Structure 1
Amino acid sequence: MNPSRNDRPAKSRDSKGLKGKTLHQHHELQILFDISSAVHSSPRLEDVLLLALRAILRTLQFKMGAIYLVTETVGSRWFLSLAANHGFSAELVNSIQMLTLASRQMEKYRHKAGVTWFHPKKLVFDDLRRRMEEDNIHEIICIPLTAQRNVLGLLYVTNDGQIQIRPDRSEFLTTIGQQIGVAIENAQLFESVQRAKTEIEISFDAIQHAIFIIDNRWRILRVNQNSRMVYGAAGDLIGRIYPEVLYAQPQPVPSCPVQECLTGARPVQREGPHHRWGGVYSYHAFPVMNRLGQLERVVYYEKDVTEARKLEQRLQQTERLKALGTLAAGIAHEIRNPLATINFNAQMLHRELSLSSAQTQMFSDMLLEVKKIDHIVQQVLSFARPRQPQFLPNQLNDVVRYCHDLAKVHMRKASIEVVLDLSEEIPTFILDFNQISQVIMNLIINAIDAMGDGGRLTLSTRLQQDPSAVLLLVSDTGPGILSADESRIFDPFFTRKPDGTGLGLSISRQILDRHGAFIEVNNAPGPGCTFQVTFPLRGNTETDPNPSKSE
């Protein structure tokens, strides 16, 4: 049956309506595609916001727009800051930087009905309101930017295009807001990851010990700045097998912490001498497992603890000295009293008795030995109860020259060449002239005794910059110190000299402790030995009469 003529216009109208609706939907999809392409062209939040705003204004033909992002919520108020804008003058932008809204107003933006149209008269910014009136703009659209029902920000646009957007298209605008909201969330997550990565890298490089990340094939994957300073540039380290870097050989050394960690898949901690640099190091190796529980990497770090261990030894030595000092003081008093009686009676007998020459010599020898014993007792008492130093501004170079002059004759008799290498940069600082002279004389006499007949003695001073300190070095060309004795030379009563008391270095260390200084020995293999005295300058200047308090 053929359709009547009256039915044709109705069908034609339906066809045109369907075609118009299809074109309208196609236009909206094209707009969403353009916005999506814009916001996903960069992972940076700043770019996402600006590209999104420009895409919306371009596709919907709006003249002005602004995006505000939520910065914080305090009580019932939400604080938002301007993150992107278009069409505003610089002066206007400065006046609309911050926006504060009530919580109830923000809550409604969570719902699909969150898109709102309002008149510029409701704007809280006076300058912006006047600008809207001047441009004859009568309507503003606010589109919430949401992701997972969380409001991340608000998009404001002026509804001043050739085709004005009406409330019947709120669902379309809500979709735009959700699309931009998801892009903002992704960009914020990206920035958060980048920020965390940067913080980790900064922290990784800030650690003042060498750190290596090594895979299970021995390859070095990453190193920190300290590793690069010690072992070489990153380009020379990354990709190499770790034994070549750590040990300068193709295979690990016995008891290698990295190898033990790789084999046992458990943390390893060890302390001992460094294979390449010497000194005492603390070694740590930590396993890193993958999701299957298999060892994938090892984080290895090493720390130079040489100075810390020396300090511990000095502290232990100090405690031993205190105990020995108390004991020695008691013994010295017990010896000195009867010794004084022996000395007095011997002198009386020597004067009153008629003695033969042989007997006179015997009394002389006896009195001489009594004096030796008294000298030893005096040294013990000096060790047990050292006198308080008299701190005054002095020049260390002057003290060294004074000691050199005192020992000059002795050194000439022993055919010892003396080299004075005194830095002119040494500042005046606080010290006890007599006590430091005692320390230097003890080191000079020990060096002369060690060299015997002939040799070279070098007395040097240096200014150290970091940390700020003055160094005194006493070097000789003698046979050096036995390695077995090196840890005992500062112990009281330890000596290899037939006629020594073993108190010289102990008393010297005691004096230096009171000065906030310290002494150490450099006894490298081969002939010669160097004693180094370090005087820290922090808190030890002409204006500070008591340096020990600042240490």
Structure 2
Amino acid sequence: METNLYNRVVATLLAIATVAIGLFAIFNLQQESTYQQPDDGVVWTEANSRVLSGLIAVHVKSGGPGAQAGIEPGDFLTAVNDRPVAYGADLDLELKHTDVYGKAEYSIIRHGVLLDSPVVVYLVPVDRTMLNLTRLIGLVYLGIGIYVLFRRWTAPRATHFYIFCLVSFVLNTFHYTGKFDLLDWTIFWGNVAAEALQPALFLHFALVFPEDRLRGRKRSWLVPLLYLPAVTVIGIRIAAMLLWQATFELKLLLDRIATGYVAAYFVLAAILFLRSYRRADTPLLRQQLKWLTRGTLLAVVPFTIFYAIPFLTSNQVDLPWQRIADLFLVFLPLTFSWAIVRYRLMDTDLIFKRGVAYTLATGTLVGVYFGAVALVSAWIHTHLPPAVSEWGLVLAILVIAQLFDPLKRRFQSWVDRVFDRHKYDYRKALVEFGRGLSSETDLQALLRSIVDRLPSTLLVAKVSVFLADSPGLHDGFRLAASHGLPADLEGDSLDLGFLDFDYRERQGHIFFENTQQTIHLPETQQRAAALLDLNYYLPCRVQDAAPHSSPNSANASAKSRTIAVIGLGRTIGGDFLSSEDVELLESLASYIGIALQSASLYARLEEQVSEFERLKEFNENIVESINVGILAVDLDDSIESWNAQMEAMYALSRKEAIGQPLASVFPPEFMEAFDRFRNESGVHHLYKFRLTTRAGESRTANIAVAPLLSRDFVAVGRIVLVDDITERITLEAQLSQADKLSSIGLLAAGVAHEINTPLAVISSYAQMLNKQMKGDTKLTPLLERITQQTFRASEIANGLLNFSRTSTTEFRETDLNQVIRDTLALVEHQMKTARITVAADFSDDLPRIQGNAGKLQQVFLNLLLNAKDAMPQGGELRVSTVANGHVEAIIADSGAGIAPENLKRIYDPFFTTKSAPKPGERRGTGLGLSVSYGIIQEHAGKINVESTVGIGTTFHLEFPLLRTTIHA
């Protein structure tokens, strides 16, 4: 009871509002026809000048009164009829006093100079042509809203949609005239309210259609927030009217605020519809929302791009294409009305297509009609006398109207044929569809094409395709694709034994008038037929050659078998198919059968090709993944294959190498060795071959050259395997050096122990004799020299012991920069004495290493003293540290350098070039670099040397980064 009362109250209020709004629209039209507002054809704005007050011409309408009087954009208007004008209200008041067709004298300043005489402007009525067209759009809104309301009062959101249409009617039909009496003020504020409410109603509609996103207490507060901008726009209009000066600039600002608000809400609503369309989970809803979304975009996008954005970003207003873009909003009611009336897929699709097409058709007809009338009128005015031209124009209009009527009917017939093409040519579409099936080779795509095209062509609600898994068996079919069936039905176990066309040798099709009452079938098959709910089953047959007959034999016979079955339900309207439809479908089934068989064969062929490609790719991956360079050449020595390892080793990409002659890629030394066994069979090897790459890098490689044979064991080229052993050779040299040092260390330990004992005896007795012969001037120097030489021999012996001794010194976190600084401090005086300049460059953020500071200081002290000895005449010593994935110390001198033949022996024990030192140099023992090498190895580091005779020597010491342990 309460619901009925509520509905009655709502209906009464809507009826009263509709009648009142309609009466106001009629009164507004009458007033507009009797009262004409004067216009000078110029868009003015207030000048931002502190010296002069007046208006500046922003835009002069071509052919308007202002343009005819000679007003130009940028002209400064100071007075009209000798009355000063400072604001837009002043100009409107003077134009109103002058009235339509009156003469107004404009005082104009142009380029800073006041014109000698006033500019005379003859005012004309405001052009209201577009207003009549917008009134037509408003009537469309109102008519659709009333149709929706009367047709389906209880439909979802019908009342909301009607209010939206009613507000849109007000927006398009209420146009104030400028008279500003009680009626005009009512029209003005009604238009302002409608302009503010229409976008909010439309966005609200998008939020609740097709599902209510504002349902629930947590979202109910969004409704008033949704309408807050509309209330704000109205409030700004009221404030501007009561508090602010009426200027053109203010009017333009208010119009831009309103336009920006309208465009923003419309774009947001379009996004919501697009989002709903993408999230639609049912075909019906998705198809319905597709047309709603397209209709919204068709209305909103042109309005936003061609009207709102130019209006908001520039002063160009009232342009023709802006007016046309504003008219696109008429598509909103056309696309939404039928969705609310029926809320069905087909009807929504149909009403959108018909609404758009009939609107475009009518517009085209009207445009062509008036265009023809205008052309004839222009010809009559040009070629006929004035006395005859008026009667000639009337006669031309009548003749064109008579000739145009058949064209209109023809156009209407064409539109009807387009929208009812399923009644005219859907049979032709089916035949073309069947012929085009053979071009589809993908089985799944073919199945989707069948179940998608048949429903849209035949207008049936359900279509399915059953494929034969086991041809010849009565239960060998499975549901492969469907349209309109439940999604979980394809995975259900269905007894499809009634599809036994080959087993029972049926020639036609199966028809179930009532799928729920198939009592002639077994119980499991009855269940399957009821779940599928399909009324027609048509076999798709193909011809197979007789198994015991040759294809070329005259007795070869063919036997048909069913490869698939097509199932169809009733039409969307609930009708059965006609006999002509079934006959056509039976013919089409043969095309479908052939296409399915071809797609199955193609699928099996693709599987074989895919397997071949997989094996080929697998073999190629083996070649690419092997850690040996592999290349193949043909009999003309042209490179045909080049794997990734060759790319990395030879610094030459596969694209650059393939197709190149072997001689243009490899050096002459390799080609000379390659040519030596060109005519010999078998596999040939080049051990530790020095290969210079194109980048100039020298590599050492083991190379194997073998013949490349075909399946028939015919030589088609050669395959070359290149094993890069450069790193291995370096490691072997380091291992040999370490083994040599170890052997020498053991030997040195034994020698040192044996020498120390007699040296101690000689030293003791020499010192005793020295004390006894203290006064003997001849023997004392000799004894002292003996003692010194024994000490020197002892130092050598101790050096040998240190070299051979395995240290157990504790390693700890060490700052390499500090070690080098401390060592430099020890030799600072010696460097200054030797006139050597020390340049130190230490990295501030150098990581710490794990090491022993004392032993490291011994290494750096030895290197610094060697550098000093290499520069007896003075020079420059550069010491620096860097971090590059490891910690590196660099010691470079500008001394004499090391001869190339000695460079490989500097780490050998007892090898020294200082056996006969020059003045200022110290005598060498040959153990310094050997001991340093051992200390660096003990620190898991590397020591490398670069030297050029006459330029200097540089030592590079590398240490691994400190490994930190994180305790949980």
TM-score relative to the length of structure 1: 0.68
Cα shift at 1:377: 0.8
Contact residue 941 and residue 959 of structure 2 kept, 8 A: yes
Q: Report the residue type matching 1:493 in the other structure.
A: F
**In structure 2, distance between residues paired with 1:346 and 1:194:** 91
Q: Is the 8 A contact 1:271 1:280 kept in 2?
A: no
Is 2:919 the counterpart of 1:497? no
Shift of 1:396: 1.4
1:530 aligned to which of 954, 957, 966: 954
Deviates more, 1:175-184 or 1:492-501: 175-184
2:702/2:725 contact within 8 Å kept: no
The match for 1:63 among 435, 440, 463 is 463
Deviations 1:166-189 (A, max 9, x none): xxxxx9999988755542332112
Asked if residue 485 in structure 1 is aligned to residue 902 in structure 2, the reply is yes
Supply the distance in 1 between the matched residues of 2:752 and 2:834 (Cα, whole angstroms): 34
Match for residue 780 of structure 2? 360
Residue 23 of structure 1 corresponds to which residue in structure 2?
Answer: none
Aligned pair count reads 459
Match of 1:402 among 822, 833, 836: 822
In the TM superposition, what are the counterparts of 1:44-63 in structure 2 within 5 Å?
47-51=442-446, 54=449, 63=463
Q: CA 1:353–1:279 in structure 2 vs 1: closer, same or farther (change >3 Å)?
A: same
How far 1:134 moved relative to its partner? 5.4
Q: Aligned-pair distance for 1:159? A: 4.1
Is the contact between residue 461 and residue 471 of structure 1 (CA under 8 Å) also seen in structure 2? yes
> Deviations for 1:90-146, whole angstroms, at most 9, x for unmatched residues?
x827x867x999xxxxxxxxxx98x9x9x99869xx9xx69x725336879999xxx
| Structure 1 residues 354 and 431: CA distance shift in structure 2, 3 A | closer
Amino acid at match of 1:409: H
Deviation for aligned residue 1:435: 0.9
- Whole-Å Cα distance in 1 between the matches of residues 625 and 566 of structure 2? 50
For residue 38 of structure 1, the aligned residue among 430, 440, 449 is: 440
Aligned residues of 1:257 and 1:268 also touching (Cα < 8 A): no
**Partner SS state of residue 400, structure 1:** helix
What SS does the corresponding residue of 1:495 show, helix, strand or coil? coil
What CA deviation, in whole Å up to 9, does each residue of 1:226-255 have, x standing for no partner? 5556534555433322332333xxxx3256
Looking at CA atoms only, which structure, 1 or 2, has the larger radius of gyration? 2
Read off the aligned partner of 1:270 and give its amino acid letter: Y
CA apart distance, 1:368: 0.7
Q: 1:270 is matched with which residue: 650, 674, 687?
A: 687
Q: Distance in 2 between matches of 1:194 and 1:121?
A: 49
Match of 1:508 among 928, 932, 936: 932
- Report the alpha carbon displacement of residue 32 of structure 1 after superposing the two structures with TM: 12
**1:49 Cα deviation after fit:** 4.4
Deviations 1:440-487 (A, max 9, x none): 2222222333343233332232222xxx31222222333433333333
Q: What is the aligned partner in structure 2 of residue 223 from structure 1? A: 642
Q: Distance in 1 between matches of 2:867 and 2:468?
A: 79
The 5 Å alignment of 1:243-258 reads: 243-247=663-667, 252-253=668-669, 256=672, 258=674
**Distance of 2:895 and 2:453 partners within structure 1:** 89
Give, in whole Å, the separation in 2 of the partners of 1:215 and 1:525.
48
3-state SS of paired residue (1:485): helix
**Judging changes above 3 Å, is the alpha-carbon distance between structure 1 residues 517 and 352 closer, same or farther for their aligned structure 2 residues?**
same
2:483 aligned with 1:87? yes
Kept after mapping to 1: 8 A contact 2:691/2:701: no
CA distance in 2, matches of 1:67, 1:525: 87
- 2:835 aligns to what? 415
Deviation at 1:257, TM superposition (A): 5.6
Q: Deviations over 1:134-167 (max 9, x none)?
A: 5336879999xxxxxxxxxxx8755449769xxx
Q: Is the contact made by 1:137 and 1:158 (CA closer than 8 Å) also made in structure 2?
A: no
Q: Which of 733, 736, 745 is 1:316 aligned to?
A: 736
SS in 2 for 1:493: coil
Whole-angstrom CA distance in 2 between matches of 1:508 and 1:86:
83
How do residues 1-16 of structure 1 correspond to structure 2 at under 5 angstroms? none
Q: Is residue 2:912 matched to residue 1:521?
A: no
Tell me, yes or no, if the aligned pair for 2:437 and 2:592 is still in contact at 8 Å.
no
- Structure-1 residue corresponding to 2:710: 290
Q: Which structure has the higher relative contact order (CA within 8 Å, separation 6+)?
A: 1
Does residue 471 in structure 1 map to residue 888 in structure 2?
yes
Give the superposition deviation at 1:36. 6.4
Whichever residue aligns with residue 839 of structure 2, its letter is: V
Q: Which residue of 2 aligns with 1:307?
A: 727
Distance 2:812 2:468 in 1: 68
Partner SS state of residue 840, structure 2 = strand
Q: Is the 8 A contact 1:49 1:67 kept in 2?
A: no
Measure, in 2, the Cα distance between the counterparts of 1:525 and 1:189: 68
Write the letter of the residue equivalent to 1:136: L
- Deviation for aligned residue 1:258: 4.8
- The residue number in structure 2 matching 1:192 is 611
CA distance in 1, matches of 2:699, 2:653: 24
Quote the residue 2:764 is aligned against: 344
Query: Conserved in 2, the CA contact under 8 Å of 1:471 and 1:535?
Result: yes
1:65–1:156 contact (8 Å) kept in structure 2: yes
State yes or no: 1:443 paired with 2:863: yes
Note the 1:89-104 alignment, pairs <5 A.
Answer: 92=487
Tell me the CA shift for residue 512 of structure 1: 1.5
1: distance between equivalents of 2:690 and 2:744? 31
Relative distance call for 1:495 and 1:308 in structure 2 (3 A) is same
Structure 1 position 371, deviation (Å)? 0.8
Q: Distance in 2 between matches of 1:429 and 1:120?
A: 86
Q: Which is helix-richer, 1 or 2?
A: 2
Query: Aligned to 1:409, what secondary structure does the other structure show?
Result: helix
- Do the aligned partners of 1:35 and 1:52 also contact (CA within 8 Å) in 2? no
| Separation in structure 1 between the aligned mates of residue 654 and residue 597 of structure 2, nearest angstrom | 45
Relative to structure 1, the CA distance from residue 203 to residue 49 in structure 2 (aligned partners, 3 Å threshold; closer, same or farther) is: farther
1:357 is paired with a residue whose SS is coil
Task: Tell me, in whole angstroms, the C-alpha distance in 2 between the residues paired with 1:490 and 1:142.
Answer: 89
- List alignment gaps of at least 5 residues for structure 2: 1-431, 470-477, 495-501, 511-520, 542-562, 570-580, 584-589, 916-922
**Paired AA for residue 50 in structure 1:** A
- Residue 183, structure 1, aligned to residue 599, structure 2: no
- Secondary structure of 2:440's match? helix
Q: Following TM superposition, by how much is the alpha carbon of 1:534 offset from its aligned partner in structure 2, in angstroms?
A: 1.7
Moved more, 329-338 or 134-143: 134-143
SS at match of 2:954: strand
Q: Distance in 2 between matches of 1:330 and 1:475?
A: 36
Partner of 1:253, secondary structure, is helix
Q: 2:582, 2:677 → 1: CA distance?
A: 70
Q: Distance in 1 between matches of 2:468 and 2:934?
A: 69
Q: Secondary structure at the match of 2:879?
A: strand
Unmatched tracts of structure 1, length 5 or more: 1-29, 40-46, 70-80, 102-111, 144-154, 165-170, 545-551
CA RMSD in angstroms, aligned pairs only: 4.9
Amino acid in structure 2 at the alignment position of 1:530: T
Partners of 1:394 and 1:429 within 8 A in 2:
yes
Q: Compare the two structures and name the one with the higher strand fraction.
A: 1
CA contact (8 A) 1:53 1:65 kept: no
Contact 1:49–1:184 (Cα < 8 Å) also in 2: no
- CA, structure 1 residues 49+245, in 2 after alignment: closer, same or farther (shift >3 Å)? same
Matched to 1:407, the amino acid is V
* 2:541 counterpart of 1:541: no
C-alpha change, 1:458 and 1:65, in structure 2 (3 Å) is: farther
Instruction: Supply the distance in 2 between the matched residues of 1:515 and 1:368 (Cα, whole angstroms).
Output: 35
- Aligned-pair identity in percent equals 26
* Matching of residues 132-211 of structure 1 within 5 Å: 133=531, 135-136=533-534, 158-160=566-568, 180-200=599-619, 211=630
